[in-house]
Amino acid sequence: MRNFAVLTLVSLLAACGSGDDPRAFVAGAGKDLRGKVEPLPEVKPYEPFTYAATDLPDPFKPRKLTPPPGEGKGGGIQPPRDHAKQILENYPLEGLKMVGTLQQNKMTFALVKTPDNNLYRVKQGNYMGQNFGIVTQVTDTEIKLTEIVQDSGGDWTERATTLEMSEPSAQQAPKK
């Protein structure tokens, strides 16, 4: 055991010798290393953007289109505001059906059925539909109307519309 202690002591003393100086190694290790770094690119000076379109219209605001030169501005047509609203003006024209006619005192009336299955008499001069449609003529097969609608430019224009007699469906056909 004593030999072992002496051997360990001798090895420790040999390891601490001045043959390998770590400071000299570290000082010499960095001398040969030279990194190759590319030069930085030239920095261009910042030029702020100048907005020069302040006098142009804002593209995010809705605006009324102007008609081409030579065209009038809707001809001054306005929807009638002074008439008493009639019951058939509460329904869209697509939901109304002409189901027949009726003559009384030399006047022809059209029979119009609403989506809720009510039946109304319509004569020339009555209003129907939600676009200020006024009945201009009642015949045995159709009702002719003139509607006042707004165009894409916001002007009011007249539109001729016809409501024709509807064909009886299989449910309404007379039974034999």
Q: Which domains does the chain have, with CATH numbers?
A: 83-164 (2.30.30.830)
- Residue showing tokens 């953007």: 49
DSSP assignment letter at 110: E
Rounded (10°) CA dihedral 137, 143, 147, 151:
-130
pLDDT tens-place string over residues 121-158: 999 999 999 999 999 999 999 999 999 998 877 789 99
Residue 3's SS3 state is helix
pLDDT tens-place string over residues 19-43: 567 777 777 777 777 778 889 999 9
C-alpha 169/C-alpha 120 separation (Å) is 20
